[in-house]
Amino acid sequence: MSTLVHEFRATYAFMERNANLVKRYWSWELVWMVYSIANSLSVSFIGMGMEKISGVSAVDGRFLVLYLVIGTLVWRYLSSIFYWITDVIGMERWEGTIEYTLMAPIRRVTHMAGQTLWAVLYSMFFTAIILVVTVWMFDIDISNANLWGGTVMLLAGSLSFIGVGVMGSVLPLLFPERGSQMTHVIIAVLLLVSGVYYPVEVLPAFLQKLAVASPATYVLTGTRLALLDGTPTRELWPHIWPTLLMGLVAIPLGLWIFGLAERYAKRTGKLHRNG
């Protein structure tokens, strides 16, 4: 049997396992879906309420809603990818299967590819449902939006978030007890500096410097240009290439860091301990 077929089957193993886990934990997935929808709607309603809060009638409530809807959806998608990937070790520590998976004759890149493919597909599905509910709720007009451009931005952003996720997945490997919780720090900082619900220009200067290094900043700006202004896809390139570049650097770097962490865990006996 060729190595390629072996690696393909192993990649599929992670996708199929995750699909089975979602199926078995369907009630949890439903709860998380309702929570995510409620959360996204709550943020988006801020746009509707701005006119009343500020008392300024010049505020374009519809525009603001769409601005926030894009922020919340893009963020939901990117953070979902991040959490699925960082959970590659966390979920196995929880179940106690980590030693069996890491003992299997598969390359770590295959392992990550399986988890990543699943992460992207599931996050798309998850976000699409939130999108449908949000569009229905706010009666959003997207007739002028460049949907294709928005999708390209999201896909480019996926690449960089995969890299960040692979790096983040090292934490549960190194810290069996609290590693999974530590990954929240990464996502919290990215949320703060990337302009998810506000333009990065409102941030203090030192945080704006951090925003330059966040792939989400480019994804959000590009997606907003595509969906709010209908900017053509080719004009989104200044926002696409930085996130692609970050992905191209972050994925191999993440895999390398993961390799080092795995070696450290095997040297110190941290694989065995379940968090």
Judged by the rule CB under 8 A, the positions of this chain that interact with other proteins are 1, 5-6, 9-10, 12-13, 16-17, 20-21, 24-25, 95-97, 99-107, 263, 266-269, 271-272
- Of 104 and 185, CB closest to other proteins: 104
The distance of closest approach from Cβ of residue 16 to other proteins in the complex, given in angstroms and rounded to an integer, is 7
The distance of closest approach from Cβ of residue 256 to other proteins in the complex, given in angstroms and rounded to an integer, is 17
> The tokens of 264 are what?
């450290």
- In the chain, the amino acid numbered 74 is V
HEC string for 119-144 = HHHHHHHHHHHHHHHHHHHHCCCCCC
- Of 11 and 221, CB closest to other proteins: 11
The distance of closest approach from Cβ of residue 224 to other proteins in the complex, given in angstroms and rounded to an integer, is 39
**CA-closest candidate to residue 160, choices 231, 91, 74, 92:** 74
The distance of closest approach from Cβ of residue 117 to other proteins in the complex, given in angstroms and rounded to an integer, is 14
- Of 92 and 215, CB closest to other proteins: 92
**CA-closest candidate to residue 163, choices 237, 224, 78, 105:** 78
Q: How many angstroms separate the Cα of 198 from the Cα of each of 46, 64, 67?
A: 12, 10, 9
- Of 23 and 234, CB closest to other proteins: 23
- Of 107 and 178, CB closest to other proteins: 107
CA distance 233 to 225: 10
254 alpha carbon, distance to own chain's centre: 15
> The tokens of 161 are what?
């978030």
The distance of closest approach from Cβ of residue 104 to other proteins in the complex, given in angstroms and rounded to an integer, is 4
